[in-house]
Structure 1
Amino acid sequence: MTEATEALAVPLRETHAPPAPPHRVWTVALAGLGALLCALDIVVVSTALPALQADFGASLSELEWTINAYNLVFACLTLTGAALGDRFGRRRMYVAGLAVFTLASAAAGLAGGSGQLIVARVVQGAGAAVLLPLTLTLISEAFPAEKRGVAIGVWGGVTGLGVAAGPLLGGAVTEGLSWQWIFWLNVPLGLVMLPLAARKLTESFGPRPQLDIVGLVLAAVGLTGLAWAPVRAPEAGWGSAEVLVSLAVGIVFVAAFLRWEHKGARYPMLRLALFKNRRFSTANAAAFLGFASLIGALFMITQFFQTGLGYDPLKAGVRILVWTATPLLISPIAGALADRFGTRPFMLAGLLLQGIGLALLAWQVEPGVGYGSLVGPLIVAGVGISMVFPSVANAVTSAVPLGDAGVAAGVNNALRELGGVFGVAVAAAVFTTYGGYGSRTDFLDGCGPALWAAAGIAAVGAVVAVFAPSRAAVE
């Protein structure tokens, strides 16, 4: 054993007993708030981009990276964050991730230029990559399988609220205060949560006595390559050397990671046998496709309400709430019903509704369309994704032994984030093929096909959900 691995090989302490009922309330509350912070910062910056450009004189590329820096690091390190929680303690790493996220939020608020802001967003993404997967793991530890659906439903609803409130909060804060406050708002909430998490959460560990450092590095580099390519493709082109090399590096390193985990790692961070479990593999595929559809559609719809319909950022955010706020109402109910009837019906119905709603919305994209014509499709799509959020998370965590819950949550979150990156890339590629930003008509010409593409991705997810087993089969 090397000196480095000896330093990491602290005594293993497995804690799988659920905490006392009062602590379950705190677990759901703190897990939900942690997920809310992470989800908010995925989208909250989008409505502040004009203010950032005015303050910093930022280029288009710099503005893109204020968003991409967070999302890329978040997507590529979330599996690492889950593994660190398994090894060094989920409560401990939750607190560490929250502390990093809070400090980085303060740094973003203090940024004096676009370069400083991008660096702060990178660190913020690293904190979120540790924080978010552990929110789901903590819930899995706190609740027995038969009661987990309600808790995960609440978690899913709050996560959806973060996505919903992002454009609205960003627009309101930027107009009413300044763009800096979209980051400063994280700080007091983080400072309140830190001591509560240290006192109220129950510590637990995964089953591996050593950290799989080689696996962590291979996974991080591979996921970075796969995520970098679609982020850069709209500007550099899919046939550019940068994008092709990025894809090649991603594929090679992911393949090396899988081989290492299968044959080389003494204590693999990811047991590949988990993917033989049909419930686990189909739920993760549905998560990837569901988020690709959701984030790709969100990318277009937020622009459609502003560029296509002429609303300012705040008014656009308010009108989109009929779509994005539904998880807060529907997800807890769907989670509770999934405990009783199984997760497959809710994954399948949710992805179908999401696809139908987006298809109806794409059909309505034309000059002069009234907001009233869009409300119905937005609600249908919102109810759909509200059913997908908790059912996918419940299926993933209930399909694996409790000791693997942390890594299972990490895989699920990594695939969701990668799905979001993929969805935006697909939407942007379709949009530029059929339209552009030259005029409102050009925009509408591209927006409709891009939403049809998002609907198609949801339909593929529904096909995947057909093959999911209705009940858990832990392997």
Structure 2
Amino acid sequence: MRRDGARPPDRWWLVAASGLAVFMAQLDVTVVNVALPTIEHDFGTSPSLTEWVVLAYVLPLIALSLPSGRWLDRVGRREALVFAVTGFAVASIAAGLAPGIGWLLAMRAAQGAFGGILFAIVPVLTTIAVRPEARGRAMAVVMTLGPLGGVAGPGLGGLIVESFGWPWIFYLNVLVGTLVIAIAWPQLSRGGRLRPPSLAWAAEAGLLGAAAIVVMLALSLGASDGPAWLLLAPVAVPFVLAWWRLPTGRPVRELIAVPGMRGVHLALLAEMAAVMAVQFLIPFHLLRGGASPSATGLTMLALPIGIMVAGLAGGVLSDRWGAGRTAVRGLCVLFAGLAVFEIAGFGPGWGPAELVGPLAVVGVGAGLFAGPNQTMAMSLSPQHLMGTTGASTSLARQLGVALGPALATLTWSMTGYRFEGIRLALGTAVVLAVFSLAVLLIRSPVRHDHATADARTQERKSMQ
């Protein structure tokens, strides 16, 4: 409440700006995929080196998520948002002007670093923008726009590359970034000044980044060299243990100790991996079955359309039923969509007509889950760890994005990339969905919905 007793107005324009920011950052994960052959030709590089145009962006997102969250807990929110968006836009311009592959990779890494800050701060801004009773709707808007950015990337990237050239996929971020700052600036009050990260921040990022690189290399080897990945994967363990014992890991240890927080994170990681596995596998199945690229693209649109429609509805239901109940229902719908592949006898003859329905159901489940799950995480978070919570959920989401296709490829490769492997990999997605549902049911989201009602009210008062 304000000093005059009036209830502070909901800042929906700040929610809109947050949604645009996460859309922009998530879009850049996939928008370059279509441009890779052109970049390879223009710079005269090998496919293995060109692949790092994608990895150079994703790895900082993973390595810097948690350090960025701790940093955000100590600085002003308006200042941090402007810093991250401006840095992202400047790095985008520099990427578009890159004279060679080395410069492009460096700027993609810079984009990923600023993107990591954006992914961490957006849930915080969304949480403080509206009253607790409207938080589900606000989080649904943002968590719907994020996945849409990732899914829209290849289609939008192809259009831009064909019409204007690949540098313009980066220049587009300047327009979006300017719009985000223009909207958010008057919605946020002046906060504390920006503080440079400490050396401990760099050490923490280095350890997490090293672990991420090892895991990705291990999963990549699994698809080509069989059991070789089993030898490499354990190398990541010492890096994770070293980070866990650092003093800078204390906020994360404190956060994970909050009742229910582990379940929210594990459910998010598993759900995201299941959805991304489906999104990765189905285009291969369709193209190998003779479907045209345009038919494949139109078929895959069923998934993001389901996310968009159900995501907005999920926000309303979250505010009425409770975030936990809505997230569980979303996972049940997701499981139903994945189970169709097994129950209906998914076979080599399945084309666009047979796949549109299950993909739409998977999208609806993902949309119902995303916003409410993020709402639960931010509601459970202590006030002084909100930045860390935004970062940790971002890390779980990005790990799911990377893990889903990697597990799908690994499973598929075990059959020599035959159709049976695609069906087996879709079974892995079903297992991931069941695991996600189980961890939420075990932590009893219904009890959480009632137990946190008073806590939300007190939290909102403390923000004024």
TM-score > 0.5 by shorter chain:
yes
Structure-2 change in CA distance of 1:345 and 1:67 (3 Å): same
Structure-2 change in CA distance of 1:302 and 1:75 (3 Å): farther
Q: Is the 8 A contact 2:62 2:398 kept in 1?
A: yes
After superposing the two structures, state which structure 1 stretch, 410-419 or 185-194, moved more. 185-194
What residue in structure 2 maps to residue 374 of structure 1?
355
Which among 422, 435, 439 is matched to residue 460 of structure 1?
435
What residue in structure 2 maps to residue 226 of structure 1?
211
What residue in structure 1 maps to residue 9 of structure 2?
21
Distance 1:408 1:64 in 2: 31
Deviation readout 1:371-402 (Å, 9 max, x if unpaired)? 11001100110011101111110010000222
Structure-2 change in CA distance of 1:113 and 1:244 (3 Å): farther
Q: TM-score, normalised by structure 2?
A: 0.86
Q: Secondary structure at the match of 2:178?
A: helix
| Per-residue deviation, 1:289 | 0.8
What residue in structure 1 maps to residue 326 of structure 2?
346
Q: Secondary structure at the match of 1:87?
A: coil
What residue in structure 1 maps to residue 238 of structure 2?
252
Letter of the structure 2 residue corresponding to residue 395 of structure 1: M
When the two chains are superposed, the root-mean-square deviation of aligned CA atoms in Å is 3.0
Distance 1:122 1:243 in 2: 28
Alignment of 1:197-236 (within 5 A): 197-203=184-190, 213=198, 216-236=201-221
What residue in structure 1 maps to residue 122 of structure 2?
135
Letter of the structure 2 residue corresponding to residue 259 of structure 1: R
Q: Secondary structure at the match of 1:352?
A: helix
Structure-2 change in CA distance of 1:448 and 1:241 (3 Å): closer
Q: Secondary structure at the match of 2:74?
A: helix
Unaligned segments of structure 1, at least 5 residues: 1-16, 437-441
Which among 429, 446, 452 is matched to residue 410 of structure 2?
429
Letter of the structure 2 residue corresponding to residue 383 of structure 1: V
| Per-residue deviation, 1:214 | 6.6
Structure-2 change in CA distance of 1:214 and 1:55 (3 Å): closer
Q: TM-score, normalised by structure 1?
A: 0.84
Distance 1:199 1:456 in 2: 46
| Per-residue deviation, 1:21 | 2.3
Structure-2 change in CA distance of 1:251 and 1:115 (3 Å): same
Q: Is the 8 A contact 2:307 2:365 kept in 1?
A: no
After superposing the two structures, state which structure 1 stretch, 272-281 or 326-335, moved more. 272-281
Deviation readout 1:290-318 (Å, 9 max, x if unpaired)? 11112232222344444444422x55333
Q: Secondary structure at the match of 1:278?
A: coil
Distance 2:195 2:99 in 1: 41
Distance 2:68 2:421 in 1: 38
Distance 1:126 1:243 in 2: 30
After superposing the two structures, state which structure 1 stretch, 96-105 or 227-236, moved more. 227-236
Q: Is the 8 A contact 1:218 1:254 kept in 2?
A: no
Deviation readout 1:392-439 (Å, 9 max, x if unpaired)? 100100002222211111111111112222222211211211233xxx
Structure-2 change in CA distance of 1:306 and 1:94 (3 Å): farther
| Per-residue deviation, 1:42 | 1.4
What residue in structure 2 maps to residue 446 of structure 1?
421
Q: Secondary structure at the match of 1:435?
A: coil
Distance 2:76 2:227 in 1: 43
Which among 119, 133, 136 is matched to residue 106 of structure 2?
119
Which among 16, 40, 50 is matched to residue 37 of structure 2?
50
Q: Is the 8 A contact 2:309 2:364 kept in 1?
A: no
Structure-2 change in CA distance of 1:383 and 1:457 (3 Å): same
What residue in structure 2 maps to residue 96 of structure 1?
83
Structure-2 change in CA distance of 1:204 and 1:376 (3 Å): farther
Alignment of 1:264-279 (within 5 A): 270=251, 272-279=253-260
| Per-residue deviation, 1:121 | 1.2
Q: Is the 8 A contact 2:291 2:351 kept in 1?
A: no
Unaligned segments of structure 2, at least 5 residues: 456-464
Distance 2:239 2:60 in 1: 17
Structure-2 change in CA distance of 1:203 and 1:285 (3 Å): farther
After superposing the two structures, state which structure 1 stretch, 113-122 or 229-238, moved more. 229-238
Distance 1:18 1:170 in 2: 47
Structure-2 change in CA distance of 1:122 and 1:176 (3 Å): same
